[in-house]
Structure 1
Amino acid sequence: MSASTPTPLDAGLAPPKPATASTAGSTPAPASSAQEKPTVLHLGDDIRWNHDLYKELGNRFRIERSYTLGRDEFKKALRERRWGDFVAMYRPFWNTGGEMGNWDLELISLLPKSCKIYASAGAGFDWVDTKTMAEHGIIYCNSASACTESVADAAIVLILSTYRAIVWSFLAARSGDVSQFRNANQNVAAVTHNPNGSILGIIGLGKIGYRIAQKATAAFEMRIWYHDVVRFEEREQSIGARWCETLEELLQNADCVLLATPFSGSVLLSTAQFAHFKRGARLVNIARGKLIDEDALVRALDDGVVSSAGLDVHADEPNVNAKLAQRDNVMVLSHTAGASVESHVGFERLGMENLMGFLGGGEALTPVNLQWLRKE
């Protein structure tokens, strides 16, 4: 478990305590120094768990709040310099503080030149033009390490569902129909398998992909093959993984293909890629729905090229493709793989640690766009 991954002790057993105006709003400072503090813009809801750390943030910076603003109102506020020359933005929750929509050039160009860092909850950042942010001198930090454990656990559930026909059995039992129950009871065994010894082909061996690999090898003795834009030799050695230089090599050999890579703006798996799949292979996606051409996946399932799938994410969220959702060999979730109290505790904390580390003269912990910032 990484240093930024929350523990049960961090979360506590009691319900979260709502932050009050004195702990969550613009934190007052001594009269002589209040106006001298750099400003941090807090987007969205109040802090729920890390109150002591938030108090420390407020002691070091002036905290301004945007709460919930739609895109037009947020743009208007930026034009009016409602929050002044803030140096950072902080978004502690993945389902609030993003009401303004995609962070594209239109929004980024309205930010004050003083803004140097944006620390946000969540692992994915396909809604942020991180390159444009870097070109404007802003570091973007995600919080993937805070939800790694939760996403990896959910991935294991989806992997098992594709091997053991969990959806078929579950739907048959839930239907209350005797014939459906008997059909599943008598026939599931003929088409399901244990994952032990099979090849799990992971596309993207970052923090989350690597943690999934660790769990899959430790619990199910799966063999790990992976494809990535860079090679991770130390990780290979620790889990006995095999690197595939090309995506086609991985697809041709994997018994289960798992997507754990960021969305870079284009579909990764479509008809051409499904043609390389080992017939009857499984597919799991805990990354981003737009990585998969869902119509092509439906055809691959119809043709038996893909035998089953587990999808936490979808191409047109919150809409789920009905042709996939209604199948008894596809498990669909509501983009909740990383959703846990522990993840949210970690999101809050890691965001503040990124801000205080960077603004205190050190380095951000989880930047994702330094390659473009450095070029500038």
Structure 2
Amino acid sequence: MPDTQRTRLLIARKVPAAVAKRAETEFHAYVTDADMDAWSVVEFCTKHALPAVLIGKKSGLQAEHIAALPPTLKIVANASAGVDHMDVAAAHARGIVVTNAPDALTECTADFTMLLVLAACRRASEYERIMRAGWGKSFGMTDMLGTRVNGKTLGIVGFGRIGRAVARRAQGFGMRVIYTDIQRAAPALENGATYYESLDAMLPHCQVLTLHVPGGGAPLMTAREFGRLPQGAIFVNAARGGLVDEDALYAALTSGQLRGAGLDVYRGEPNVDPRFATLDNVFLTPHMASATVETRDQMGFTALDNVAAVLDGASALNPV
């Protein structure tokens, strides 16, 4: 257990070794060896009168947890871009600063999005299974054909940091980029991408569609939206599983409305709808868009930078 005279931070989720070392050195942090739940976080922070905590999805603090936190707590830091696992408004009402790491995941998530695009278009899942089964059969000129990425129109829903990073990569593959968001980006940020005022208006033009908006609320993609895509479109989601009506997605994939999909996130994760695993035209990954050594370290370091700023009496670097 920590020295209560020195400990200033609870790391309530497993973090990379480099992040743990810095937290222990700089904040005399108590670093958990297994992700803590929310009530365990409350109990620990209260017992040791801590001013800071770094949480994860399992330790997501809702209103009832935040109400029970000690008055000493100044900051709840998140080492992720999303904060949909906690009640930010309840924290603000108690004067607790909430931070995230919006820049840390950008490049890796954009890289991974392109992996999903390429894998779904080029039937990577099917090819890989053929090889693992021993191959043993030559393919002719009309067999196992994918769809070319170069020259296709990519529709991006959400043109923030990640959406723009995906656009740059897609343009490198010779794709035409269109996007929709709540407002148009500045021309310099568009970098040649074409803006549509609504999702409805953009969907019929998307040969490939990718989502880059926060989760929460009703699904963004339902049977209606999938139906507005051109037949044979490719769908990619590395944002949030809750953005998609999975029954509608399954129907679109099995009816031919969608040619394929690349999915990294799911409504019931970590339990994926088993129907998707039966489909040859879906490339599946287990929510791994940010899973590189460099990015996970940066996520943790960004959270610690925010903790340091707040505990030193300065403004948070990434307030939510």
Answer yes or no: same fold by TM over 0.5. yes
Q: Which moved more, 1:123-132 or 1:149-158?
A: 123-132
Q: Say whether the 8 Å CA contact 2:77–2:100 is kept in structure 1.
A: yes
| Cα distance in 2 for residues equivalent to 1:321 and 1:99 | 21
* Shift of residue 44, structure 1, vs aligned partner: 3.2
For 1:221, give the aligned amino acid: G
* 1:174-227 superposed Cα distances (whole Å, 9 cap, x missing partner): 22364xx546875123xx222122211111112112111111112x02121111
Change (3 A) 1:75 1:355: closer
- Check if 1:231 corresponds to 2:184: yes
| Cα distance in 2 for residues equivalent to 1:305 and 1:216 | 23
Change (3 A) 1:74 1:355: closer
Change (3 A) 1:176 1:133: same
For 2:234, give the aligned amino acid: R
Indicate which of 131, 151, 170 corresponds to 1:173: 131
- Check if 1:188 corresponds to 2:157: no
Partner-residue secondary structure (3-state), 2:261:
strand
* 1:31-75 superposed Cα distances (whole Å, 9 cap, x missing partner): xxx95x7933332346611577546633xxx64556544445444
For 1:122, give the aligned amino acid: S
Q: Say whether the 8 Å CA contact 1:124–1:288 is kept in structure 2.
A: no
| Cα distance in 2 for residues equivalent to 1:54 and 1:132 | 26
Indicate which of 72, 82, 86 corresponds to 2:47: 82
- Check if 1:135 corresponds to 2:89: no
| Cα distance in 2 for residues equivalent to 1:143 and 1:123 | 5
Indicate which of 149, 160, 164 corresponds to 1:210: 164
* 1:217-244 superposed Cα distances (whole Å, 9 cap, x missing partner): 12x021211112233214544x211121
Q: Which moved more, 1:169-178 or 1:261-270?
A: 169-178
Q: Which residue of 2 is the match for residue 324 of structure 1?
A: 276
Indicate which of 314, 325, 333 corresponds to 2:266: 314
Provide the TM-score with structure 2 as the length reference: 0.89
How much is the aligned-residue C-alpha RMSD, in angstroms?
Answer: 2.6
Q: Say whether the 8 Å CA contact 1:45–1:67 is kept in structure 2.
A: yes
Q: Say whether the 8 Å CA contact 2:210–2:236 is kept in structure 1.
A: yes
What is the correspondence of 1:1-376 to structure 2 with a 5 Å cutoff? 26=2, 35=5, 39-45=8-14, 48-50=17-19, 53-54=22-23, 57-58=26-27, 63-64=29-30, 68=34, 69-77=36-44, 81-84=46-49, 86-91=50-55, 98-100=57-59, 102-176=60-134, 178=136, 181-182=137-138, 186-189=142-145, 192-218=146-172, 220-237=173-190, 239-368=191-320
Identity of aligned residues (%): 30
**Structure 1: where are the runs of 5+ without partners?**
1-24, 29-33, 369-376
Change (3 A) 1:146 1:193: same
Q: Say whether the 8 Å CA contact 2:42–2:69 is kept in structure 1.
A: no
| Cα distance in 1 for residues equivalent to 2:10 and 2:20 | 17
Change (3 A) 1:75 1:294: same
Partner-residue secondary structure (3-state), 2:111:
helix
| Cα distance in 2 for residues equivalent to 1:338 and 1:46 | 13
| Cα distance in 1 for residues equivalent to 2:238 and 2:218 | 16
Partner-residue secondary structure (3-state), 2:299:
helix
Partner-residue secondary structure (3-state), 2:215:
coil
**Looking at both structures, which has the greater relative contact order when contacts are Cα pairs under 8 Å and sequence separation is at least 6?**
1
Change (3 A) 1:73 1:364: closer
**Structure 2: where are the runs of 5+ without partners?**
none
For 2:220, give the aligned amino acid: L
* Shift of residue 253, structure 1, vs aligned partner: 0.9
| Cα distance in 1 for residues equivalent to 2:39 and 2:53 | 18
| Cα distance in 1 for residues equivalent to 2:277 and 2:188 | 35
* Shift of residue 159, structure 1, vs aligned partner: 0.5
| Cα distance in 2 for residues equivalent to 1:155 and 1:352 | 27
Q: Say whether the 8 Å CA contact 2:151–2:174 is kept in structure 1.
A: yes
